[in-house]
Amino acid sequence: MQIRDKLGNSTKRILVVEDEWIIAMNLKEMLESLGYEVISLVHTGEEAVRVSEAEHPNIVLMDILLRGKMDGIEAADYLYSILDVPVVYITSFTDERTLERAKESEPFGYILKPFEKRELHIVIEMALYKHEMDKRLKEKTKQLEELNRNLETRVKEEIEKGRKKDRMIIQQSKLMAMGEMMVAIAHQWRQPLNVIGLLVQDLEDAYNFGEVDKQYIKDMTVESMAQLAFMSKTISDFTNFFKPVNEKVLFDVKVAIEEVITLVHTRLESSQIILDCEFKRSTADYIGSDYTTSLLQDASHGQIIVKGYPDAFKQVILIIINNARDSILRKRQDELFSSNRKGLIRIILQEQAGYVVIRVRDNGVGIAEDICDRIFEPYFTTKDSGIGIGLYMSKIIIENHMSGKLYTENADDGAIFCIELNI
């Protein structure tokens, strides 16, 4: 049991290992007069180990030279390394080799015989203090290691979460692209389906009026086949659009943009929005310049090859075009357009040294300055039916997956979205 002094400090319990009886008794007296409790006086290293295992003293005062198989150094080594009991050597023996061995057993102090009470007191207190500090240091190191391990696991978990989110976004972008394709096909099919419906209705009438002859059947077949051919062509036009790619590939951004334009231009036309595209090799001012060369008619047919995910890239272009369309429709709805102004979405590709900039400019409502910083945040939307994921997804695709940049630029009228990709 530990006894506490008046200040609440526990009395330190000391084991003395000394084979000279008189010295041992003398030491015991000195220690007790200094306020320590001497739990035992033993003569051999083996005894020191046995008592320490049973009693766990705060400190052991150990003579280096002991009778028996185990000398003081061996015993001290065991006491500190196995039982974490600090040892102070008390010796008159000072030959170099023994001192060297003693040092290796990491003692907490030496005291040379003969010594004074004051000296003994200081050495014991220093040793106890050092041991306490050592213990705290070990504890802190353990905590730090634990923290490090936890941190490592947390970092790994967060990275994995991020990867999962990225995969989900790519997956979502594929689903959106498929949805977009269905809408485009449905739009293209409406007209031929109507025509085929009318032809079938007319067949019944013609039969009732006795008008079905060989020529009639021939005309009807030709017309139906033409409509079906158109429908079938729509499918092949759009299947190119959506070919999921899981690995980065080299692709031509011009071709990818052309495919997006094919997908959306009729729908935009029906909303009275003109979509055009311009390709510039120079750094000349592009804003406000009259549009002259369609990308589709670009005589040079120069390719702009980038590395990445073409379907995800096309999805980004679609997201930006759809936002531009929403913005133009909003402007029209708010009657902010002068009566004869058309909605306009212009895509400008500009090849620079080592990279390409794709700017998508619209003449819609524009982006208010106070939300400029927020539009790329997930779930930020100003639309009643918006989710607010489009631009967030686009930024991840362009910046995380294709090492590019996506940002907005100021425009006097409407908004400009820029994509930069390395070529």
Ligand X SMILES: Nc1ncnc2c1ncn2[C@@H]1O[C@H](COP(=O)(O)OP(=O)(O)OP(=O)(O)O)[C@@H](O)[C@H]1O
Q: Which residues bind ligand X (CB under 6 A)?
A: 319, 323-324, 327, 362, 364-367, 375, 380-383, 386-392, 415
Q: CB 203 → ligand X: shortest distance, Å?
A: 44
| Stretch (H or E) spanning 364 | none
Residue 390, interface with Mg ion (CB under 5 A)?
A: yes
Evaluate whether 122 touches 129 at the Cβ level (below 8 Å). no
Distance of alpha carbon 33 from alpha carbon 393, whole angstroms: 78
Question: Cβ contacts of residue 350 below 8 Å, gap of 6+?
Answer: 280, 281, 283, 286, 356, 357, 358, 359
**Interacting residues with Mg ion between 305 and 324 (CB under 5 A):** 323
Nearer to ligand X, 102 or 181 (CB): 181
What does 404 interact with, of ligand X, Mg ion, none (CB < 5 to 8 A by kind)?
none
Residue 402 and residue 358: Cα distance in Å, rounded?
14
Separation of alpha carbons 250 and 260, rounded Å: 18
Rounded least distance, CB 164 to Mg ion, Å: 23
Asked if 364 is part of the footprint of Mg ion (rule: CB under 5 A), the reply reads no
327 binds, among Mg ion, ligand X, none (CB under 5 to 8 A by kind): ligand X
Task: Name the DSSP letter for residue 400.
Answer: I
Asked if 327 interacts with Mg ion (CB under 5 A), we say no
Cα-only R_g, the chain: 44
Residues in the interface with Mg ion (CB under 5 A) total 2
Binding site partner of 363, from Mg ion, ligand X, none, Cβ cut-off 5-8 A by kind? none
109 or 364: whose CB is closer to ligand X? 364
End-to-end CA distance of the chain: 78
The region of 35-43, 196-204, 228-236, 383-391 touching Mg ion under the rule CB under 5 A is 383-391
410: helix, coil or strand? coil
162 binds, among ligand X, Mg ion, none (CB under 5 to 8 A by kind): none
Task: Please identify, using beta-carbon distances, which residue of 284 and 368 lies nearer to ligand X.
Answer: 368
β-pairing, 109-112 vs 87-91, is: parallel
CB of 398 to Mg ion, least distance (A): 15
The set of residues, in sequence order, having a beta carbon less than 8 Å from that of 149 and lying 6+ positions away, is none
What is d(CA 349, CA 355) in angstroms, rounded to the nearest whole number? Answer: 11
Nearer to ligand X, 28 or 331 (CB): 331
What is the binding site for Mg ion (CB under 5 A)?
323, 390
